[in-house]
Amino acid sequence: YKHSAVIKGPSQLKAAPIVVPDIRAGLAFVIAALVAEGESVLTGIEHLDRGYERLEEKLRGLGANIQRVETQSQL
């Protein structure tokens, strides 16, 4: 098929610091961070704020362990 993808997995994801470059990639990074082992810190979440209303609240409603925090660069 012209528009197809082949994905082989699963592979173990590990927590990492992540810079969110845009709205769509940001949501993909959030999902990856939710299933990764450990704690990931995402910066640049203003992109997510523009595209997804009350994202943390909705994800917490689904059982996600997610919270918004201030980092040193924001102070």
| Per-residue pLDDT reduced to its tens digit, 43-72 | 999 999 999 999 999 999 999 999 999 877
Q: Has residue 44 been placed in a domain?
A: yes
Q: Which of 49, 55, 53, 51 is nearest to 34 (CA)?
A: 55
> For residue 10, what pLDDT band results from cuts at 50, 70 and 90?
confident
- Residue-level pLDDT at 7: 84
Other CB atoms closer than 10 Å to residue 44's CB: what's the count?
14
CA distance 19 to 56: 17
Q: Has residue 5 been placed in a domain?
A: no
Expressed as residue numbers, the domain containing 25 is 17-74
pLDDT, the chain, mean: 92
Q: Supply φ then ψ for residue 41, to 5 degrees.
A: -115, 120
The distance of Cα 21 from the centroid of its chain, to the nearest Å, equals 11
CA distance 49 to 51: 6
Q: Has residue 8 been placed in a domain?
A: no
Asked whether the predicted pLDDT for residue 75 surpasses 60, the reply is no
- Residue-level pLDDT at 21: 96
Q: Has residue 9 been placed in a domain?
A: no
Q: Has residue 4 been placed in a domain?
A: no
Q: Is the pTM of this model over 0.75?
A: yes
Please give the tally of structural domains in the chain. 1
